[in-house]
Amino acid sequence: MSQPVRYLKQNVVAEPLYNQWYAWWFLISPATAPLFVANHHVKIMESFVANPAIHVAALKSPALMGGPYINYGVERARDIQELLQRTLREQASSLRFAQAVAELDKLLLTANGFSLEELYKKVPDILQGYVELTYDLNNRASPRFFESLLYRGPHYKEPSQSLAMRLIHKDARPYVFSTPRLDTEDGSVHVHVPYRHEAIDRLFAMRRTPGEVEPVREALGIQGKDAELFSTFFTEEAPRPAPRYDSPGVRIRYFGHACVLIETREVSILTDPVISYDFPTDLPRYTYADLPEHIDYALITHGHADHLMFEPLLQLRTRIGTLVVPASSGGGLADPSLKLMLQHTGFRRVVALSEMESIEVPGGSITGLPFIGEHGDLNIQAKMAHLVQLEGKSLLMAADSNALEPRLYDHIHALVGDIDVMFLGMESEGGPLSWMYGPLLTTPLPRKMDQSRRLNGSNAERAIEIVRRLKPGQVYIYAMGREPWMGHVMVMGYHENSPQLVESRKLLDYCRAHGITAGLPYVQSELHLP
């Protein structure tokens, strides 16, 4: 007897977890995940277990919401202690890996420009065969990790991957990077399968195509009381239709933050997918239900968690034709390969684009342009602005580019000409280097140095330099973290006098004074290029 078919509800959240912590790029790569487990997760849990009241008190201050404080009450101290003990036990090899990286760093400090051959035998055993020892041209020694081998060895821990699913009815979600998800949370179903599992694709295909619930539940290993809760995630109600764009010219839809859908009759391109869930709200927005059935290309500008977000990407995996990412330098801890990362999490067609490389698409092309700034002066190459050329129009998705060297844009303009539409982020006062990259540092930065190397995008002066040189006809400021569904990854808390908004208004005033259409889209907007 056949079972009734159902749709997955549009307000089912599915958070990817690593060892019960919200997963982002540094928790996927086997070269960096151990460092975040050892130097971030364990330390936060130890602090909470020792004195949970400090965490509770700290999070009463909005200014500390993005800090290293666990967002549970003191009554959850035992649960966190159990997770800590399990982490120390199950992630023991990761903790040894992290310690070995610190030891290797100290070993390479002894290198003085002479051959490194003799140091190979002194590399900690757990790292032997996974690193090449190298000098730069100034005789500074550093390791290069063979990431492709690490993914195929014991340090890539797929059993630590899982999903936490639940229904939501509002945008507000707790900040995710300082608090683990506990198995005992009410209303959540924890699915313990690796991200590449084909049942995840079957599940999310049911957002648009109805299917039988039981085969998917069984494939995901959901049993007992969780099975009953899982059944409430489905409905007989079909989602609203989202027909493919079929008119002349180019349609541009702003989905929030840095997520923009660019469509012609021939092709659909989605940038930095971060999508709102769909539920009754007084704030209309585009959601998963408004995306086309097939997305020909999804573009990732860089690996920061508000641009490369695994939560929506896993849900869209079967709908994305080609995923385009920036090529990394290869083997550096701060610059893991996004291509390897996505391939090992189940994405079948991933293209790594280098600067000034292009791929042809129907009716035009996608070109990777240099993106400087916002990465604390680290040598990170996996960052890329995208020039999308369609139907004779050019759109630049510049992400969080910071015009540290304005003449870069003279050289770009000489090659690509005037830009029709430019999207640019203006997070002009980002966090210090250690806020994101601290767990990778074997030696903490002095505070003054840390504060000077901030993760900044352009301020008004630098954004104006980009505009002057690229001569866009329209300018839109995006990627500001203002949408209410961004709070779980970005604790911005803007007010009218926030420096970021003050600087944004300066750019808007400059553009309008020079006859350039400009705007600061919020939540939802649409633009047509005839």
Q: pLDDT tens, 9-57? A: 999 999 999 999 999 999 999 999 999 999 999 999 999 999 999 999 9
Q: Give residue 2's pLDDT.
A: 62
Quote the CA–CA distance of 117 and 513 in Å, as a whole number: 62
Model pTM greater than 0.85? Answer: yes
SS3 for 426? coil
Angle between helices 499-513 and 460-470 (to 10 degrees): 30
CB count, 10 Å around CB of 109? 12
Q: Give residue 491's pLDDT.
A: 79
- Counting beta carbons within 10 angstroms of the beta carbon of residue 4, is it exposed (0 to 12), middle (13 to 18) or buried (19 or more)? exposed
Residue with tokens 């500074």: 140
331's CB contacts (< 8 A; 6+ apart) are 132, 143, 144, 145, 146, 147
C-alpha dist (Å) from residue 174 to 46, 79, 84: 21, 18, 21
Q: What angle do CA 287, 315, 42 make, to 5 degrees?
A: 110
Partners of 476 in the β-ladder: 423, 519
Q: Could you tell me which of 218, 225, 219 has the C-alpha nearest to residue 187? A: 225
The phi and psi torsions of 256 (rounded to 5 degrees) equal 115, 150
SS3 for 388? strand
DSSP 180: P
Walk along the chain (530 residues) in steps of 10 and give the mean pLDDT of each run: 84 97 97 98 97 94 88 95 97 98 97 96 98 96 97 97 96 93 86 97 96 96 94 95 92 98 98 96 95 97 96 97 95 96 98 98 98 95 98 97 97 98 94 94 92 95 98 98 93 82 97 98 96
Q: Give residue 330's pLDDT.
A: 83
Q: pLDDT tens, 432-486? A: 999 999 999 988 899 999 999 999 999 999 999 999 999 999 999 999 999 999 9
Q: pLDDT tens, 482-516? A: 999 999 998 777 788 889 999 999 999 999 999 99
HEC secondary structure over 337-369:
CHHHHHHCCCCCCEEEECCCCEEEECCEEEEEE
Quote the CA–CA distance of 157 and 379 in Å, as a whole number: 27
Q: Give residue 389's pLDDT.
A: 98
Quote the CA–CA distance of 400 and 479 in Å, as a whole number: 7
Quote the CA–CA distance of 250 and 29 in Å, as a whole number: 37
Q: Give residue 492's pLDDT.
A: 73
